[in-house]
Amino acid sequence: MWVETTDDRLVVGVTLPVAVERTWGALTAPGSITRWWGSQVRLDAREGGSLLERWDDGDGPATTMRGRVICCQPPRRLVIEWADAGWPGDTTVEFRLEKDGDRTWLRLEHRGWAGLPAKLRAASIAQRAADWRQHLGALGVLLGLEGDIAGDDPDGNGQSAAASAPPPV
C-alpha cells in the first residue's frame, strides 16, 4: 500500500488482485461496503446519493458523518463530499480505479482540509490516513490479497509487500 500526505490532502493507493468491475462492486455494493468500511456505513452509490457513517470509539459520544455522492462513473470513479460532525466544512474523497493487467490499481484521494485549523487539520489528516489504510487493507483482504496489507511494511518505506508503486500517470 502506498500513502502520501500533504497539508491539505492524503493519497492512498493499492493494487488489488481482481478486475476493475469486481473491485467496483466490492467498493460500492451495500453487502460489501459494510465488510470493508464498517457495519454502520450506508452508501447510495449514484450521483446525488447519500453516505452515512456512524461509529463510537469509546472516547465520547457516537460520531455521525454525512456526505453525498457528487460524481459516480462506474466502474472507474466515485467522488463523495463529506464532513464529520463538528467540522467547519466538507472534504472530498475520490476513488479512482484503473486497470492494471488483470488487477486493479485503486487510488483514493481525500482533500479539502484547508478549512480546518492547522493543528486539527494535521491530526485529522494523520488519523484519516491511518483509517483509510485500515479500510483499504480490509477491502484488499475481501478481494483476496494475502496478509495484512495495511500494516505490512517490511522496508519501512510506506509500502506493503502486497502493493506496488503507483502506475505511471
41-52 confidence digits (pLDDT tens): 999 999 999 999
Domain ranges of the chain: 2-142
pTM: 0.85
Asked if the 2-142 domain carries CATH number 3.30.530.20, the reply is: yes
Residues 106, 96 contacting (CB under 8 angstroms): yes
Q: What is the mean pLDDT of residues 28-36?
A: 95
Closest to 4 (Cα-Cα) out of 98, 150, 125, 151:
125
Each residue's pLDDT tens digit, 99-141:
999 999 999 999 999 888 888 899 999 999 999 999 999 999 9
**DSSP annotation of 168:** P
- Helix H or strand E encompassing 89: none
**DSSP annotation of 148:** -
- Average pLDDT, rounded, for the chain: 86
pLDDT at 24 over 80: yes
Q: Which pLDDT value is given to residue 54?
A: 87
More confident residue, 23 or 115: 23
